[in-house]
């Protein structure tokens, strides 16, 4: 049996026959350009144009109807508008076509309810018959390995295609071909240029998982406007981890304005941005900030380097370039390598006395009078084991300089070290000599460093993520999803006492406390706990107690306690809120206030957030996000990225914090959020007071929201 017919996505990537419904004899129209490309770029399968008004289209026999074809095509391009596209999908599905690309727009990407329903109907029809759908509103797919160009972009006429080791999968048509054009400008061939449009059936990420297994693919680029199906992204990441395939993703919608624009463009799910960052990092995927970030480091991934560190050496004939590179490295957290004394002494014997022999190496303008200097110092630097990567900047050269020798010596140096190397050369006439040796050349030291830093950082991220993606204990996501293990019924706010008690069941430490329903009970609790104490109102109607003034701290006498009780009871009554009593809690003396928050993300499942705590947590946020499942080392890494991280090791006359006690508290919150029986939708432990090393930690306030299952009446 033909395997491609058993795998509908394969029928899109390598179809043996293609029907074009709405085919045009004009090769510049949407229904005509794919036919032109199929012929031009060597497609070897059958092409079946369908147009009831023509017997021949672009010198290929045409057919009036799909049922007139001599065989059922594996794939179809649908280039008809509106209801014509809906009907064409039905005909293709019922005829046994395995996959179709719907180029027509005006469906789910609009605000028209009827148009959205038509898109939904198309998808339902296709799925009922086992047909997969790309689009609608899709620019189409292109595979230059086999010439299967089911795509109508004009970019292939502007930038000559060449098969290569790069795949581009994009929800947006424009953002599939823009990076393609930029890569072609740098002479890099691209194999896949796929645009999925509305993602109504086959999503960008599902298509990415189908492409990632191509053994000739060396880099995969993604443009995403939403991540509604993280399971496919995780599957893609696992495939990539298995063959060391770098994935670089540009995910739009970083801001509320961008998220609104994404929804208006394609109806994409605009995920909460910091959660997306955390998920991409877990998958070993580098997140680009803009289009240049998507492509600038691609060629470095093609070099086959195996970097073992990030220590940089910068070499230039300009002191300014050395300083600028050192600044950029420092700001990016990239250390400059420190040469050995032997290396510096040998460089001192070669370079003039006014040149620098430390890193960065400033050859100075002496390179003009002695063009051999670069070639002499490079072997010396190559022998120093301190360096992991190199940036060579030649901002000025040309007449009077032996530029071919510079390029030749740099290429030999690159081969000898086998380590990452980039060049910053703004003059095209100089740069061309370096490019002829296959060296990576950028016009400025800023662009060269940005590419190198991105590459080194991405390789480091991949090495950290891959062990978690592979093996018997590979991560799974999402751990728990709304609508699956969590039944979204009515939500119930627990009061503080209930929240602390529930947390304690999972090992989240809290202060000793008692709930009192009378002033006498409060006095008894005060005596039992020992003063001073905190006295707080307890109500399942009140989320923020301090705003109502129902928190009294440092109470150390019976008289003050009774007054606090009376005041709190009155304020809760004035707020027309339920009075669940008053909490009397022992004051916990610690060194730092931190926080642990958690909620169920509708896409990614349980999210845990850690960071600086107290009343300014919203005004001055300093937090990190953890996706479940996570390990203790993940928590420690998250804590190390906080602005307050130095506090954990102690500052000035303060001892180190009890980091391990706090790490265990975070792990306990993770256990609670991953337990399907807990029914916790969100949790906020703030502050968690952390003592000095060995002093432990304790949550002194908590707020938990549960999902309550619908009652029989609710279900009706």
pLDDT tens column, 560-586: 999 999 999 999 999 999 999 999 998
Pair 314, 288 in one domain: no
H/E segment holding residue 194: strand 190-195
> Over 80: is that where the pLDDT of 502 sits?
yes
In a domain, 15, yes or no: yes
Domain boundary among 467, 497, 524: 467
What's the average model confidence in pLDDT over 278-293?
A: 94
Backbone angles phi, psi at 539, to 5 degrees: -155, 130
How far is Cα 79 from Cα 667, in angstroms, rounded to an integer? 53
> Over 50: is that where the pLDDT of 270 sits?
no
CATH number at residue 35: 3.40.50.720
> Over 90: is that where the pLDDT of 604 sits?
no
Given this model, what pLDDT does residue 602 score? 84
How far is Cα 563 from Cα 519, in angstroms, rounded to an integer? 9
What's the average model confidence in pLDDT over 390-417?
A: 93
Given this model, what pLDDT does residue 255 score? 54
In a domain, 502, yes or no: no
> Over 50: is that where the pLDDT of 416 sits?
yes
Domain boundary among 527, 554, 586: 586
In a domain, 147, yes or no: no
Question: 159 near 186, Cβ under 8 Å?
Answer: no
Backbone angles phi, psi at 143, to 5 degrees: -125, 105
The one-character DSSP state at 657 is B
Pair 282, 365 in one domain: no
Pair 430, 454 in one domain: yes
Helix 659-674 × helix 632-640 angle, to 10°: 120
pLDDT tens column, 186-214: 999 999 999 999 999 999 999 999 999 99
> Over 50: is that where the pLDDT of 8 sits?
yes
436 φψ region: left (φ > 0), alpha (ψ -120 to 50), beta (else): alpha
pLDDT tens column, 212-258: 999 999 999 999 998 888 889 999 999 999 999 999 999 986 555 54
What's the average model confidence in pLDDT over 607-612?
A: 94
Mean pLDDT value across the chain? 90
In a domain, 622, yes or no: yes
Pair 409, 394 in one domain: yes
Pair 651, 519 in one domain: no
How far is Cα 17 from Cα 13, in angstroms, rounded to an integer? 11
Cα 401 to Cα 314, 373, 405: the distances in Å are 20, 11, 9
Pair 425, 530 in one domain: no
Own/partner contacts of 26-35, CB < 8 Å, gap of 24 or more, are 27/58, 30/79, 30/103, 30/152, 31/77, 31/79, 31/80, 32/57, 32/58, 33/151, 33/152, 33/153, 33/154, 34/77, 34/79, 34/140, 34/149, 34/150, 34/151, 34/152, 35/60
Given this model, what pLDDT does residue 485 score? 43
How far is Cα 586 from Cα 698, in angstroms, rounded to an integer? 11
Given this model, what pLDDT does residue 438 score? 96
Given this model, what pLDDT does residue 400 score? 86
pLDDT tens column, 616-639: 787 788 999 999 989 999 999 999
Q: SS3 for 385?
A: coil
Backbone angles phi, psi at 534, to 5 degrees: -100, 140
Question: What value does the CA radius of gyration of the chain take, rounded to a whole number of Å?
Answer: 32
Residue 711's pLDDT band (boundaries 50, 70, 90)? low
Given this model, what pLDDT does residue 710 score? 60
What's the average model confidence in pLDDT over 27-36?
A: 96
- Percentage of the chain exceeding pLDDT 70: 93
In a domain, 204, yes or no: yes
CATH number at residue 682: 3.30.470.20
Pair 370, 387 in one domain: yes
Of the two residues 329 and 371, the one the predictor is more confident about is 329
Task: Centre a 10 Å sphere on the Cβ of residue 44 and count the other Cβ atoms it contains.
Answer: 9
In a domain, 231, yes or no: yes
CATH number at residue 518: 3.30.1490.20
Pair 298, 322 in one domain: no
pLDDT tens column, 637-660: 999 999 999 999 998 888 999 999
Given this model, what pLDDT does residue 481 score? 41
Pair 258, 343 in one domain: no
Residue 356's pLDDT band (boundaries 50, 70, 90)? confident
How far is Cα 36 from Cα 28, in angstroms, rounded to an integer? 9
pTM of the model: 0.88
Given this model, what pLDDT does residue 44 score? 95
What's the average model confidence in pLDDT over 22-28?
A: 96
In a domain, 199, yes or no: yes
Pair 682, 704 in one domain: yes
How far is Cα 713 from Cα 173, in angstroms, rounded to an integer? 48
Given this model, what pLDDT does residue 226 score? 85
> Over 90: is that where the pLDDT of 338 sits?
yes
The domain total for the chain is 5
How far is Cα 369 from Cα 361, in angstroms, rounded to an integer? 17
| CA-based torsion, 76, 82, 87, 89: positive or negative | positive
- Our CA angle for 642, 643, 645, nearest 5°, is 65
The beta-strand segments (E) located in 505-619 are: 513-516, 533-537, 551-555, 582-586, 592-601, 605-612
pLDDT tens column, 462-501: 999 998 888 654 455 444 443 344 445 588 999 999 999 9
Given this model, what pLDDT does residue 114 score? 94
How far is Cα 251 from Cα 480, in angstroms, rounded to an integer? 24
Question: 49 near 65, Cβ under 8 Å?
Answer: no
In a domain, 51, yes or no: yes
Given this model, what pLDDT does residue 26 score? 96
* Half-sphere exposure of residue 582: CA atoms within 13 angstroms, side-chain side: 32
Domain boundary among 86, 107, 138: 138
Residue 668 is encoded by which pair of tokens?
């306990």
pLDDT tens column, 110-168: 889 999 999 999 999 999 999 999 999 999 999 999 999 999 999 999 999 999 999 99
Sheet holding 148-151, edge to edge: 148-151, 140-143, 190-195, 166-170, 219-224, 247-251, 286-288
Pair 217, 356 in one domain: no
- Give me the domain span that covers residue 53: 1-138
Given this model, what pLDDT does residue 483 score? 36
CATH number at residue 285: 3.40.50.261
Q: SS3 for 665?
A: helix
> Over 60: is that where the pLDDT of 2 sits?
no
Pair 547, 662 in one domain: no
């Amino acid at each position: 049996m033909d395997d491609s017919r058993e795998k509908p996505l394969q029928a899109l990537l390598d179809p043996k026959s293609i029907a074009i419904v709405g085919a045009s004899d004009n090769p510049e129209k949407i229904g005509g350009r794919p036919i032109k490309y199929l012929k031009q770029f060597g497609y070897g399968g059958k092409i079946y144009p369908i147009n009831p008004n023509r017997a021949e289209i672009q010198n290929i026999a045409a057919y009036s109807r799909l049922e007139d074809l001599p065989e059922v095509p594996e794939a179809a391009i649908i280039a008809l508008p509106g209801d014509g596209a809906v009907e064409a999908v039905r005909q293709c599905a019922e005829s046994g076509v395995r996959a179709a690309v719907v180029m027509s727009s005006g469906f789910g990407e609009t605000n028209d309810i009827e148009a959205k329903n038509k898109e939904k109907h198309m998808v339902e029809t296709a799925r009922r018959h086992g047909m997969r759908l790309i689009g609608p509103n899709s620019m189409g797919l292109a595979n230059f390995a086999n010439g299967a160009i089911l795509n109508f972009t004009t970019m292939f006429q502007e930038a000559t295609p060449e098969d290569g080791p790069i795949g581009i999968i994009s929800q947006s048509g424009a953002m599939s071909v823009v990076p393609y054009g930029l890569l072609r400008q740098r002479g890099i061939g691209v194999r896949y240029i796929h645009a999925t449009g509305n993602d109504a059936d086959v999503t960008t990420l599902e298509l990415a998982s189908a492409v990632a297994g191509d053994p000739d693919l060396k880099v995969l680029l993604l443009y995403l406007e939403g991540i509604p199906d993280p399971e496919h992204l995780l599957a893609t990441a696992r495939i990539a981890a298995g063959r060391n395939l770098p994935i670089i993703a540009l995910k739009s919608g970083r801001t509320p304005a961008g998220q609104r624009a994404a929804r208006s463009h394609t109806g994409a799910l605009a995920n909460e941005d910091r959660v997306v960052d955390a998920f991409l990092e877990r998958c070993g995927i580098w997140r680009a900030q803009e289009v240049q970030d998507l492509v600038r480091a691609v060629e470095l991934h093609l070099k086959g380097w195996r970097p073992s560190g990030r220590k940089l050496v910068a070499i230039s004939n300009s002191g300014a370039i050395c300083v600028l590179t050192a600044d950029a490295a420092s700001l990016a957290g990239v250390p400059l390598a420190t040469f050995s004394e032997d290396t510096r002494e040998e460089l001192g014997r070669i370079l003039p006395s006014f040149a620098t022999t430390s890193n960065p190496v400033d050859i100075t303008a002496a390179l003009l009078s002695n063009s051999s200097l670069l070639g002499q110092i490079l072997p010396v630097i190559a022998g120093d084991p301190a360096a992991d990567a190199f940036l060579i900047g030649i901002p000025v050269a040309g007449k009077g300089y032996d530029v071919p020798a510079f390029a030749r010596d740099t290429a030999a140096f690159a081969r000898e070290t086998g380590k990452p190397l980039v060049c910053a050369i703004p003059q095209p006439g100089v740069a061309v000599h370096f490019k002829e040796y296959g060296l990576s050349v950028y016009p400025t030291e800023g662009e060269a460093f940005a590419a190198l830093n991105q590459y080194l950082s991405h390789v480091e991220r991949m090495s950290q993520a891959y062990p978690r993606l592979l093996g018997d204990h590979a991560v799974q996501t999402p751990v728990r999803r709304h609508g699956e293990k969590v039944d979204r019924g009515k939500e119930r706010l627990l009061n503080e006492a209930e929240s602390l008690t529930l947390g304690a069941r999972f090992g989240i430490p809290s202060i000793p406390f008692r709930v009192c329903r009378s002033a006498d009970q409060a006095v008894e609790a005060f005596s039992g706990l020992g003063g001073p104490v905190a006295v707080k109102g307890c109500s399942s109607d009140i989320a923020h107690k301090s705003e109502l003034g129902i928190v009294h701290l440092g109470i150390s006498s019976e008289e003050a306690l009774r007054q606090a009780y009376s005041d709190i009871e009155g304020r809760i009554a004035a707020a027309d809120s339920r009075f669940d009593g008053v909490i009397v809690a022992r004051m916990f003396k610690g060194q730092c206030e931190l926080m642990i928050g958690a909620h169920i993300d509708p896409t990614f499942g349980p999210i845990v957030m850690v960071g600086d705590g107290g009343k300014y947590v919203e005004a001055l946020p300093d937090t990190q996000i953890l996706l479940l499942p996570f390990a203790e080392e993940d928590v420690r890494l998250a804590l190390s990225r906080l602005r307050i991280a130095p506090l954990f090791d102690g500052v000035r006359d303060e001892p180190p914090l009890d980091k391990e006690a706090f790490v265990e508290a975070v792990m306990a919150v993770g256990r609670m959020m991953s337990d399907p029986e807990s029914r916790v939708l969100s949790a906020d432990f703030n502050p968690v007071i952390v003592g000095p090393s060995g002093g432990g930690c304790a949550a002194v306030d908590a707020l938990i929201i549960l999902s309550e299952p619908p009652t029989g009446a609710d279900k009706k």
